[in-house]
Amino acid sequence: MNEHSDIPVLDVDPYAPENLADPYPMHTLMRDTGPVVRLKAYPTVVVCARHQEIHAVFNNAQTFISGAGVGLANFNTEEPFRPKSLILEADAPLHTATRAILSRVMSPKTVMQIRADFAAEAERVLDQALERNQANGSIDWMAEVANPFPLKVFADSIGIAAQGRENLLLYGDMVFNSMGPRNEVFEKSVERVIPVTQWIMQQCDRANLRPGGFGDQIWQAAEAGEITMEQAPMLVRSLLSAGLDTTINSLGNAIYALAHHPEEYAKLHADPSLARQAFEEALRWESTVQTFFRTANTDCEIAGIPIQAQTKVLCMLASANRDPRKWPNADTYDIARKPVGHTAFGTGIHGCVGQAIARLEGELILTALAKRVKRIEFAGPHSRRLNNTLRAFDTLPVRLVAA
Task: Give me the helices (H) in 178-312, please.
Answer: 184-193, 197-203, 214-223, 231-242, 245-260, 262-270, 275-285
Is residue 203 close enough to count as binding ligand QZP by CB under 6 A? no
Is residue 242 close enough to count as binding ligand QZP by CB under 6 A? yes
Residue 57 or 379 having the CB closest to ligand QZP: 57
How many CB atoms within 10 Å of residue 202? 14
Residue 94 or 111 having the CB closest to ligand QZP: 94
Residue 37 or 344 having the CB closest to ligand QZP: 344
How many CB atoms within 10 Å of residue 308? 14
- Least distance to ligand QZP from the beta carbon of 400, Å? 29
Residue 259 or 358 having the CB closest to ligand QZP: 358
CB 132 within 8 A of CB 139: yes
Q: How big, in percent rounded to 5, are the helix, strand and coil portions of the chain? A: 50, 15, 35
Is residue 238 close enough to count as binding ligand QZP by CB under 6 A? yes
Residue environment code for 364-399, b if the CB has 16+ CB neighbours within 10 A, otherwise e: bbbbbbbebbeebebbeebebbbbbbbbbbeebbbb
Is residue 85 close enough to count as binding ligand QZP by CB under 6 A? yes
Is residue 227 close enough to count as binding ligand QZP by CB under 6 A? no
Interface pick for ligand QZP out of 87, 160, 209, 314 (rule CB under 6 A): 87
- Least distance to ligand QZP from the beta carbon of 70, Å? 6
Q: Which stretch binds ligand QZP (CB under 6 A): 162-170, 223-231, 237-245, 368-376?
A: 237-245
- Least distance to ligand QZP from the beta carbon of 239, Å? 8
Residue 297 or 343 having the CB closest to ligand QZP: 343
- Least distance to ligand QZP from the beta carbon of 283, Å? 12
Residue 80 or 272 having the CB closest to ligand QZP: 80
CB 345 within 8 A of CB 279: no
Residue 34 or 354 having the CB closest to ligand QZP: 354
Residues with Cβ within 8 Å of residue 1, at least 6 apart in sequence: none
CA-to-CA dists, residue 152 to 41, 122, 371, angstroms: 41, 10, 22
Interface pick for ligand QZP out of 48, 68, 145, 175 (rule CB under 6 A): 175
CB 349 within 8 A of CB 99: yes
- Least distance to ligand QZP from the beta carbon of 102, Å? 9
Interface pick for ligand QZP out of 157, 241, 253, 347 (rule CB under 6 A): 241
Is residue 344 close enough to count as binding ligand QZP by CB under 6 A? no
Q: Which stretch binds ligand QZP (CB under 6 A): 82-90, 125-133, 189-197, 215-223?
A: 82-90
Q: Which stretch binds ligand QZP (CB under 6 A): 45-53, 72-80, 81-89, 158-166?
A: 81-89
Residue 34 or 346 having the CB closest to ligand QZP: 346
Task: Give me the helices (H) in 22-107, please.
Answer: 24-33, 51-58, 94-105
Q: Which helix (H) or strand (E) holds 131?
A: helix 108-136
Residue 63 or 177 having the CB closest to ligand QZP: 177
Hey, what amino acid is at 401? V
Residue 230 or 263 having the CB closest to ligand QZP: 230
Is residue 88 close enough to count as binding ligand QZP by CB under 6 A? yes
DSSP string, 190-211: HHHHGGGHHHHHHHTSGGGS-T
Instruction: Give bridge partners of residue 264 from the DSSP assignment.
Output: none
CB 224 within 8 A of CB 105: no
Give the Cα-Cα-Cα angle 346, 351, 357 (nearest 5 degrees).
105
Site string for ligand QZP, 272-311 (x = CB under 6 A): -----------------x----------------------
Residues with Cβ within 8 Å of residue 236, at least 6 apart in sequence: 158, 203, 204, 209, 215, 218, 219
Residue 289 or 368 having the CB closest to ligand QZP: 289
Q: How far is CA 218 from the centre of its chain?
A: 22
CB 180 within 8 A of CB 388: yes
Q: Which stretch binds ligand QZP (CB under 6 A): 80-88, 116-124, 163-171, 200-208?
A: 80-88
The residues that touch ligand QZP, with contacts defined as CB under 6 A, are 85, 87-88, 175, 238, 241-242, 246, 289
